[in-house]
Structure 1
Amino acid sequence: MPPMHIEERKDFPNPIEFYDNYVAPGKPVLFKGAAKQFPSYNNWKNDTYLREKYGGLTVMAETAKKEDRNNPVKPMNFSTFLSIYEEEDIYLVQDVAPPRPITEEMFVPKSLLCRGFMDFLNMALLWFSSGGTKSVLHNDSFENINCLFDGTKELIMIDRKHKELVPIDHLERGYSFVDVERVDMYKYPTLSKLPWYIANMDTGDCLYIPRNWYHHVKSSLTRNLAINLWWLFRSELKHRDECEKSLADLPEFDCLNKFRIKSGVKIEHVIFDKVFEESNSTTSTNLLKSVIPLLSSDMTRDDRIEYLTKLKRYFTEADTNEDSLLTREEVEASSVEILLPFLKKGAEKELINEYQKDEL
């Protein structure tokens, strides 16, 4: 099946248009050349500038450019990375959320300059290598705008509505071992029926990747540097009236260091991710079905029954308006400590790491 192409446009829409036309329906869009307007655009291409100004920044580097989620990461200062990245099989993946000084080089596009987005901004990440990086096929629960400042990227993307056809080998971690460049159709026969998209990013492009869209990313064999912003999805645009009133005076971009990012991943975002994949609320039955795969294989039948009984009790307590539906907001306002003792050994750490490691 030949690929379909992602919609392209040259400008960032205002926040209302962006939410209504792209975020709400879960529709990716490629903003061609949109990052070139940022004042720091050329700074990201200059290793000498980056070393002189931010060389002392401590960064984390993955020890291979082909993604293996079991590989360790290595701390070093930015200056050291800049000295070795062209020769070594290494890939910088660094959270650069404020108040780190380097955020003065980062800009938030007009599309997100509204409380309905910025109040839920979760992470800003810098991705930097000499090129040739490849990701696994995976999805993420966060909304994502990625801007490319050097190199090119090719993304293979699959709509989340086709999730039943996507061969996810690691369900709890949301990724697959399938080699999308040389697909084994005997092992993964559903892929032959799967509609897919292709997005080609050039230097200066920005791409919106909707939450839970599956994607694989391959970078060019040249210096590659990108920055992405992650935020939490909401089923409606919060503070919409306030946002609409501000449209007339909205700038094309604003500096990231003016904003506060609520960095980090809450365990409820990990455990309840699949529950709220298609809806802002869930029933007790769906909640149980989503958590069961995370239970330890060492649990006895009686332990499982006891745990699920406690989980039902949690549902009742968290459902504050007593409508027999649990919403994202109710989950985030409640305690989820009941879940932690029953996760597979190491699962909490592994799952959270998946939200802090991506390919772009």
Structure 2
Amino acid sequence: MTPPFPPLAKVSERRGVDARVFREEIAPANQPVILRGLVDSWPVVQHGRSSAQTACEYLMRFYQGRLVPLLIGDPAARRHLFYQEMMAGLNFERRPATIFDGMRLLLSQMGNADAPAIYMESLPVADCLPGFTGEQAMPLLDGTISPNVWIGNAVKVQTHYDLMRNLACVVAGKRRFTLFPPEQLPNLYVGPLDFTPAGTPLSMVPLHDPDLARYPRFQQALEAAQVADLEPGDALYIPYAWWHHVESLEPFNILVNYWWTEKQASVHNYDALLHAVLAFRDLPAEQRRFWRGMFDHFVFEGADESLGHLAPEHRGHLGPITPEKAAAIKAILAQSLSRS
């Protein structure tokens, strides 16, 4: 990053982390951490260090022919996966292909500096490469958490977030993550919820060439940002809802990631957000202030703080959510929405 931007803070690093340290120290701190050498022993990392061709041959041992989405970018976009000008569409297309065809295309374009983005994103390993996880032990997580694989050339993925915890392991190539805390939301100038490249809203500000006249608060986001440069065998822990911009830095890159969360919401988070937009956003300011306090008190502070003076059986709809209570609340909401 060039002036006027100062150097970004570095993500902290750890080595030799085991499951207990990860569970009791790293995850609760809610900060990104580089885990150097975490997956050095994976066979796929060793094959990747040999060559891109060798890494592809290793992956093909597990492939059983399933079609996957192959993303091909507009060459004029310089492998930045984003919107077209004036948000007329996306600057890439997805087409069905085999992983073999995708990797063959990648290998054929490795010497082409003008190659378009070539990307196979978030492929569930259990479906696409069965047997792969049996040879790549993940010591930090429960074995029920199944990984995804990402294969591509030197693409740039625009700043976004995941509503999950994320452990991203670099297998081949190099990657740079630029991370922003969740509270930087107002400074990231977020795009629409209902028109996104991959389901998650994006920051509309290009990381490397931001227009600070148009997006002046982005300067504050950069002051809070952290950067992580990862080599093969390294992993990065990204806490829930931390924004991250991802750059693959080599002509051939593979990443394996794990997403998980401790508790799933009873309704989709975005559905609740849209319902709140309908209910509250256009109210007068003094009424919005009242409802902000209601949400803070009854939703975000938790039941023990807001309802501790009532016995659990007397907390009504605001009490502990059982499957039966969730069904009853959904029925009330469905009836209410049907009358709107």
TM class, shorter-length: 0.5 to 0.7
For residue 251 of structure 2, what is the amino acid of its counterpart?
T
CA distance in 1, matches of 2:205, 2:324: 34
Aligned to 2:177: 155
Paired position in structure 1 for 2:80: 66
Matching residue of 1:190:
217
Return the alpha-carbon distance in structure 1 between the equivalents of residues 252 and 325 of structure 2: 43
In structure 2, the CA distance between the partners of 1:177 and 1:37, relative to structure 1 (3 Å rule), is same
- Range that drifts further, 322-331 or 182-191: 322-331
Residues 196/94 of structure 1: CA separation in 2 closer, same or farther (3 Å cut): closer
**Number of positions where the alignment pairs a residue of Structure 1 with one of Structure 2:** 271
Contact 2:45/2:232 (CA < 8 Å) preserved in 1? Answer: no
State the alpha-carbon separation in 1 of the partners of residues 314 and 185 from structure 2. Answer: 31
Q: How does 1:32-51 map to 2 (within 5 A)?
A: 32-43=36-47, 45=52, 46=54, 47-51=56-60
Provide the identity percentage: 19
TM-score normalised by structure 2 residue count? 0.67
8 Å Cα contact 1:127/1:226 also seen in 2: yes
| Equivalent residues in 2 for 1:262-273, closer than 5 Å | 268-271=267-270
The aligned runs of 1:306-345 (5 Å cut-off) are 323=315, 330=322, 334-335=326-327, 336=330, 338=333
Q: Decide whether aligned partners of structure 1 residues 125 and 205 sit closer, same or farther in structure 2, where only a CA change above 3 A counts.
A: same
* C-alpha RMSD of the superposition: 3.8
The runs of 5 or more residues in structure 2 that have no matched partner are 1-5, 74-78, 84-89, 110-114, 195-199, 280-297, 304-311
Partner of 2:206: 179
Deviation at 1:94, TM superposition (A): 4.1
Please say if residues 106 and 252 of structure 2, whose CA atoms lie closer than 8 Å, have aligned partners that are also in contact: no
Q: Is the 8 A contact 1:126 1:227 kept in 2?
A: yes
3-state SS of the aligned residue for 1:24?
A: helix
Structure 1: 5+ residue runs without aligned partners?
235-264, 273-286, 296-314, 343-360
Task: Tell me which moved more, 93-102 or 331-340.
Answer: 331-340
Secondary structure of 1:127's aligned partner: strand
1:60 is displaced (CA, Å) by: 1.9
Would the alpha carbon gap of residues 185 and 85 (structure 1) be closer, same or farther in structure 2, given more than 3 Å must change? same
> Computing the radius of gyration over CA atoms, which structure comes out larger, 1 or 2?
2
Secondary structure of the 2:162 match is coil
Looking at structure 2, the residues matched to 82 and 222 of structure 1 have their Cα atoms a distance apart, in angstroms, of 12
Q: SS of the counterpart of 2:326?
A: coil
The one of 174, 185, 208 aligned to 2:237? 208
- The 2-side partners of 1:267 and 1:136 are apart by 29
CA contact under 8 A between 2:18 and 2:140: conserved in structure 1?
yes
Query: Which among 154, 158, 162 is matched to residue 132 of structure 1?
Result: 154
Q: How does 1:254-265 map to 2 (within 5 A)?
A: none
* 1: CA distance, partners of 2:123 / 2:162: 16
Match of 1:252?
none
The answer to whether the 8 A contact 1:156-1:216 is kept is: yes
* Residues 135 and 217, structure 1, Cα contact 8 Å, conserved in 2: yes
More displaced stretch, 65-74 vs 17-26? 65-74
SS of the residue corresponding to residue 30 of structure 2 reads: coil
Q: CA deviation at 1:92?
A: 0.8
Task: Indicate if the aligned counterparts of 1:140 and 1:174 stay in contact, CA closer than 8 A.
Answer: no
Whether the 8 Å CA contact 1:43–1:50 is kept in 2: the answer is no
Q: Is the 8 A contact 1:268 1:332 kept in 2?
A: no
SS of match in other structure, 1:85: helix
What pairs with 1:88-107 in structure 2 (closer than 5 Å)?
Answer: 89=116, 90-98=118-126, 101-104=130-133, 107=136
Name the CA shift for 1:37/1:137 in 2 (closer, same or farther; >3 Å). same
